[in-house]
Amino acid sequence: MKKVLLLLLVLAVGGAGGVIGYRRWLARPAPASSGTLRLFGHVDVRDAQLAFFYQERIDKLLVEEGARVEPGQLLATLHHERLDAQLAAATARVAAQQALVDRLEHGTRPEEVEQARANVTAAQARVDNARRLLDRLQETAKTGASSQQALDDATAELDTSTAMLAVQKQAMKLAVLGPREEDKAAARATLSALSSDRDLLQRQLQDCELRAPAKGVIRNRILEPGEMAAPDRPVLTLALPDPKWVRAYVPEPQLASVKYGMAARVTGDGAAAAGFDGWVGFVSPVAEFTPKVVETVELRPDLVYEVRVYVHDPDDSLPLGAPVTVDIDTEGGTGHAGKRR
C-alpha cells in the first residue's frame, strides 16, 4: 500500500512539473529572425453600442445580425407621429411670422398713403364747413336771429372738426414714415425664435433615425420593433473591423525591446496567411502572472504584459477570435503609429 501511495505521489509531482514546464514553453517567445520578437495572440475588434437619442418605441429595424453596413446607412427608426404634428404647427407659425416681417420690411403701401391723404382732405373740408357755419351764426346772433345755443353748437363742431383734422394729419405722417425700426427688430427676433423651435423639431425628427457611424458588421440585435428605446438602451452592436487589433502577451524579459509604434507583421491561416502590416498601439503598464500566484524569484520570468498590435484589414480576412502570429520588428524603431486612422 505504501508503495502504491509513493508511486502516486511521484506521478503527481511529475505531472505538475510537466504542466508548469508546458505552460512556460507556451509563454516563451517563439524563435524568429534576428531583431524580431515573435508572439502569439488572437484577433479582437472594437464594438460600438448604437442607441437612439430619445425615448420612444422602435418602429423598424432594417438590418439583421451579420449584415455589413456602410457609414450613414439607415439601420432603425422610431415612431414619430407626434413630432410630425408638432413640426407642422411650428412651420405654420414661422410662415405667419415671416409674413409679418415682410410687411414691416416693405413699409406702408402707396394705396394706404393715398387713403391717409384723402382722410386729411375730408377732415379739412369738415373744418372749413364748421368755420363758415360759425361765422354765419355769429352775424345773425347780433340781430337776434340766432340763439346762443346754436352758436355754442357751431363752436363745438368747429373744435371737434379741428381736432379730427390733427388726428388725420398725424396718421398720414406715420403712413409716410412707415413702421418703426424697433417694431421691425422685434418681429425679426420673434421670427428667429420660432425658426429655432422649428429647427429643433426637425433635428428631433432626424434623431428618430439610427444610422451607422462607420463601416462595420452588425453583431447583435439587442432590441426589436415595438420595444421602448432610450439613450441608455443600445439597439444594435456594431463591430468596427478596421483597424482590428491583436491581443498578445510579452514576457517580462523581452518587455524592454517593445516600444509603442514599432512595426509588426500579423499572419494567420487561410486568407490571412499572406500577412498584414501592423504596428504596436498599446503596451500595458500592468503586469499579469502565469501561474496566477508567484512567490519565488524563479517564477518571475512568467511575468507577462499585454500588447495590442493594430492592423488594417478592410477586406475582413482576419476573423474575430482567430489565432495569429505577430512578428514585431524590434530594430526598426518607431513611427508606424500614424497608420492608425
The 3-class SS string of 79-135 reads: CCHHHHHHHHHHHHHHHHHHHHHHHHHHCCCHHHHHHHHHHHHHHHHHHHHHHHHHH
Task: Tell me if 23 is assigned to some domain.
Answer: no
Q: Do both 42 and 54 map to the same domain? A: no
CATH of the domain at 54: 2.40.50.100
Q: Do both 144 and 56 map to the same domain? A: no
CB 236 within 8 Å of CB 225:
no
Q: Do both 193 and 225 map to the same domain? A: no
Q: Do both 93 and 196 map to the same domain? A: yes
Task: Tell me if 154 is assigned to some domain.
Answer: yes
Task: Tell me if 33 is assigned to some domain.
Answer: yes
Task: Tell me if 105 is assigned to some domain.
Answer: yes
Q: Do both 117 and 63 map to the same domain? A: no
Residue 175 predicted with pLDDT over 80 = no
- Last residue of some domain: 194, 229, 264? 229
Q: Do both 259 and 333 map to the same domain? A: yes
Output the pLDDT for position 340.
44
- For residue 318, give the nearest of 271, 248, 281 by alpha carbon: 271
Q: Do both 41 and 54 map to the same domain? A: no
Task: Tell me if 246 is assigned to some domain.
Answer: yes
CATH of the domain at 332: 2.40.30.170
Q: What confidence tier does 243 reach under pLDDT thresholds 50, 70, 90?
A: confident
Distance CA 154, CA 332 (A): 114
Distance CA 59, CA 184 (A): 44
Strands (E), the chain: 36-50, 56-61, 68-69, 74-78, 209-211, 216-221, 228-229, 236-251, 263-267, 276-289, 303-311, 323-329
Task: Tell me if 34 is assigned to some domain.
Answer: yes
Q: Higher-confidence residue: 252 or 57?
A: 57
CB 39 within 8 Å of CB 328:
yes
Task: Tell me if 303 is assigned to some domain.
Answer: yes
- List Cβ neighbours of 3 (8 Å cut-off, separation of 6 or more): none
CA distances from 30 to 48, 59, 213 (A): 34, 54, 40
What grid cell was written down for 289?
502572472
% of residues, the chain, pLDDT over 90 = 28
User: Which range has highest mean pLDDT (33-37, 96-100, 130-134, 281-285)?
Assistant: 96-100
pLDDT in tens, 117-135: 778 788 888 888 878 877 7
Q: Do both 329 and 309 map to the same domain? A: yes
Distance CA 197, CA 191 (A): 10
Domain span at residue 100? 85-203
pTM over 0.75: no
Q: Do both 289 and 312 map to the same domain? A: yes
In total, how many domains does the chain have? 3
Task: Tell me if 17 is assigned to some domain.
Answer: no
